[in-house]
C-alpha cells in the first residue's frame, strides 16, 4: 500500500523517478525495468526494481498490471481527439497511404502547444522496434515539412511511397535510417516530410 504521507527521496531514487517521468513524457507510455536500467546505466534490473519499490512505498509511484504509474495524477485526464490519418509502413516503403475517417483520444498533456497541429498514424512493420515503435503501434506526429537530422519522420519518397524512418543529413546527402539491424538504411534523392514523431500510443 502506498503511504499517504510522502517521505523524502534519496538522490538515487530521485534520479530514477526523474528518468521515469522523462520517458513517459517523451514516449507516452511507461518504461520497462530493463529500459530504465539501460537509461540509468545500472547493470542489474533487480537493483532498479528495488529502487522502484522504495519509491512506491514513499508514495511517488504505483504499479498497475505490471506497468509503472506516476502517483498523484488525476483519475480523469483531459483528453482531445486527434485525426487518425491511416496506415504507415515501418518496413519497406509502400505506394499507398491508406486513409481513415477515424479519430483517437489522446491525453492533452502529450500535445502541449502543438494541439491542433497533430495527427496520428498506425504503424505496419518492425523497422523501428529499437526506437520502441512496433508493428500495430499508433504514432503521434506534428505536421511539418521540415525536420532536423536525427528526428523520426513520416516521409513520402520521390516514387510516391511512404515510410517512417529516422532522418539523417550528412555531407549534403539524405538518408532514412531504420532502428532494426534487419533493415538497411536508404539513401534518397528527394522526399517530402509529412510530420515528425512526438509520441507513441500503445496497448498491452
All structural domains of the chain:
11-70 (1.10.10.10), 79-201 (2.10.109.10)
Measured over the CA atoms of residue 73, residue 75, residue 76 and residue 81, the dihedral's sign is positive
Helix 45-57 and helix 33-40: axis angle, to 10°? 100
Predicted confidence at residue 63, as pLDDT, reads: 77
pLDDT at 75: 44
The catalytic residues are 127, 165
pLDDT for residue 65: 65
* Structure confidence at residue 133 (pLDDT): 92
Q: Is 159 helix (H, G, I), strand (E, B) or coil?
A: coil
**Cβ neighbours of residue 113 closer than 8 Å, sequence gap 6 or more:** none
The angle subtended at Cα 203 by Cα 81 and Cα 38, nearest 5°, is 115
Q: What is the reported pLDDT for 203? A: 63
Residue 97 has a pLDDT of 55
Q: Torsions phi, psi of 189, nearest 5?
A: -90, -35
- Quote the distance between the C-alpha of residue 13 and its chain's center: 24
Contact 63, 91 (CB under 8 A): no
Half-sphere exposure of 58 toward its Cβ, with a 13 Å CA cutoff?
A: 14
The pLDDT of residue 74 is: 46
DSSP three-state, residue 46: helix
The confidence score (pLDDT) of residue 148 equals 94
Q: What is the pLDDT of residue 100?
A: 62
pLDDT at 159: 85
Residue 167 confidence (pLDDT): 96
27 burial (CB, 10 Å; 0-12 / 13-18 / 19+) is: buried
For the chain, which residues score pLDDT lower than 70?
A: 1-6, 65-66, 72-78, 94-101, 203-204
What pLDDT, on a 0 to 100 scale, did the predictor assign at position 76?
A: 47
Task: Specify the pTM.
Answer: 0.60
Amino acid at each position: 500500500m502506498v503511504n499517504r504521507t510522502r517521505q523524502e527521496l534519496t538522490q538515487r531514487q530521485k534520479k530514477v523517478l526523474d528518468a521515469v517521468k522523462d520517458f513517459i513524457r517523451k514516449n507516452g507510455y511507461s518504461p520497462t525495468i530493463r529500459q530504465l536500467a539501460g537509461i540509468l546505466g545500472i547493470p542489474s534490473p533487480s537493483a532498479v526494481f528495488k529502487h522502484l519499490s522504495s519509491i512506491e512505498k514513499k508514495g511517488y509511484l504505483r504499479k498497475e498490471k505490471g506497468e509503472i504509474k506516476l502517483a498523484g495524477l488525476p483519475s480523469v485526464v483531459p483528453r482531445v481527439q486527434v485525426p487518425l490519418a491511416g496506415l504507415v509502413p515501418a518496413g519497406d516503403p509502400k505506394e499507398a497511404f491508406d486513409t481513415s475517417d477515424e479519430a483517437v483520444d489522446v491525453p492533452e498533456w502529450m500535445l502541449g502547444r502543438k494541439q491542433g497541429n497533430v495527427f496520428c498514424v498506425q504503424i505496419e512493420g518492425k523497422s523501428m522496434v529499437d526506437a520502441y515503435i512496433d508493428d500495430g503501434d499508433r504514432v503521434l506526429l506534428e505536421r511539418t515539412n521540415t525536420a532536423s537530422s536525427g528526428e523520426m519522420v513520416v516521409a513520402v519518397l520521390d516514387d510516391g511511397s511512404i515510410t517512417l524512418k529516422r532522418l539523417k543529413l550528412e555531407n549534403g546527402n539524405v538518408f532514412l535510417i531504420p532502428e532494426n539491424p534487419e533493415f538497411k538504411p536508404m539513401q534518397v534523392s528527394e522526399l517530402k516530410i509529412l510530420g515528425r514523431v512526438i509520441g507513441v500510443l500503445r496497448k498491452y
